[in-house]
Amino acid sequence: MIYIGIDVGGMSIKAGVVDNQGEILFKHSCPTGVERGYGAVIRDIAELGISAVEKSGHTMSEVKAIGIGIPGIMDQRTGIVPFCTNLAWHDVPIIEEMKKYTDVPVYVDNDATVAGLAESVKGVSAGTQSSVFITLGTGVGGGVVINGKVFSGSHGVATEIGHMVTVDGGELCSCGKRGCWERYASATALIREGRKLCAVKPECALMKVAEGDITKITAKHVIDLAREGDADCAEIFDNYVHHLAVGLANLINVYDPEVFVLGGGVSHSGEFLLNAVRAKLPQYVFFKTMPYARVELATLTNDAGIIGAAMLGR
């Protein structure tokens, strides 16, 4: 049996044919064209998947399932996507729409959830039954696998882990609450703190790297300077790692997974981040003499969306 995996983003739709071990046999892509509305986008999703099978030398009769990862949430009970901001979707009946083009079973889930599943099948968490994948990007997203299956909760919102409050009364979040974890553990947090630094200390190294323009500061600038030993950026980075570790410890207290997988832009800082998190986390674990989740970096990058989506139907 083979699977179709489709990764839908605001800019492009990627479709692949994937075997039972999570290996991509063929893949191609097309622009999303969000402005055309969900009907046209979903038609393209179906056609791109079906044509991928043909081009891979297989037939649709061999396809066990089609999986779709979306940058939004999915209500599994109704088959409807309640929200998908990047696609401008609201209450989109994706399962019903897909049935216009194929009889193959269709599975849909959040893109971070799908990426987490991909890592657990073919990536760094392969072989584990429970893992939490965390995207450290503009925001913080989560992909939870429990007993080898993706976990999205009763209404599809179980992995909005970025909006777990860790600093009640703290930084205002776009969601209206104060102190959400993603205000402190995202790339955005590093940029915000970098800008604050430059405002009070315009002669700092970070301001030089940003060529005197605070709007040019990136998370990578802050992390690179911290790695090079710049005291100001090291302080920002240490504080970032503190908040990241506080949230991971919270997730141990609720999910107790075998492994955390760090993905997203901030994770590209690699071993420097990983070693810092591994050093900090033990201080915040409740049962200090017991084993707890190991922390790893994501290994699949661009293909995680296709592989994970395909594996939704395995």
234 binds a second copy (CB under 8 A): no
Judged by CB under 8 A, the stretch of 8-16, 45-53, 247-255, 274-282 that binds a second copy is 247-255
93 binds a second copy (CB under 8 A): no
Rounded distance between C-alpha atoms, residue 157 and residue 193, angstroms:
29
Q: Which of residues 113-132 bind a second copy (CB under 8 A)?
A: 129-130
Q: Which of residues 180-219 bind a second copy (CB under 8 A)?
A: none
Least CB distance from residue 267 to a second copy, whole Å? 20
Considering only CA atoms, which of 91, 134, 85, 173 is closest in space to residue 251?
A: 134
Q: Which of residues 133-152 bind a second copy (CB under 8 A)?
A: 142, 144, 146, 151-152
Rounded distance between C-alpha atoms, residue 97 and residue 91, angstroms:
12
Using CA atoms, how far residue 11 sits from 41, 71, 77, 293, in Å, is 11, 11, 28, 35
260 binds a second copy (CB under 8 A): no
In the stretch 69-88, what mask flags binding to a second copy with x, by CB under 8 A? Answer: ----x-x------xx-----
Which of 31, 57, 61, 168 is close enough to bind a second copy by CB under 8 A?
168
3-state DSSP call for residue 1? Answer: coil
DSSP code for 14? E
Which of 97, 109, 119, 160 is close enough to bind a second copy by CB under 8 A?
160
In the bound state with a second copy, the residue whose beta carbon lies nearer, of 164 and 300, is 164
Considering only CA atoms, which of 44, 35, 56 is closest in space to residue 6?
A: 44
Which of 165, 214, 234, 274 is close enough to bind a second copy by CB under 8 A?
165
Rounded distance between C-alpha atoms, residue 282 and residue 165, angstroms:
21
Using CA atoms, how far residue 106 sits from 4, 118, 232, 248, in Å, is 9, 17, 50, 32
| Cross-strand bridge partners of residue 70 | 110
Rounded distance between C-alpha atoms, residue 52 and residue 17, angstroms:
6
Q: Which of residues 293-312 bind a second copy (CB under 8 A)?
A: 293
170 binds a second copy (CB under 8 A): yes
267 binds a second copy (CB under 8 A): no
- Number of Cβ within 10 Å of residue 59's Cβ equals 10
Which of 57, 169, 200, 229 is close enough to bind a second copy by CB under 8 A?
169
| Cross-strand bridge partners of residue 109 | 69
109 binds a second copy (CB under 8 A): no
In the bound state with a second copy, the residue whose beta carbon lies nearer, of 220 and 242, is 242
Rounded distance between C-alpha atoms, residue 128 and residue 140, angstroms:
22
Binding site for a second copy (CB under 8 A): 73, 75, 82-83, 129-130, 142, 144, 146, 151-161, 163-170, 175-177, 179, 243, 246, 249-258, 283-284, 286-287, 289-293
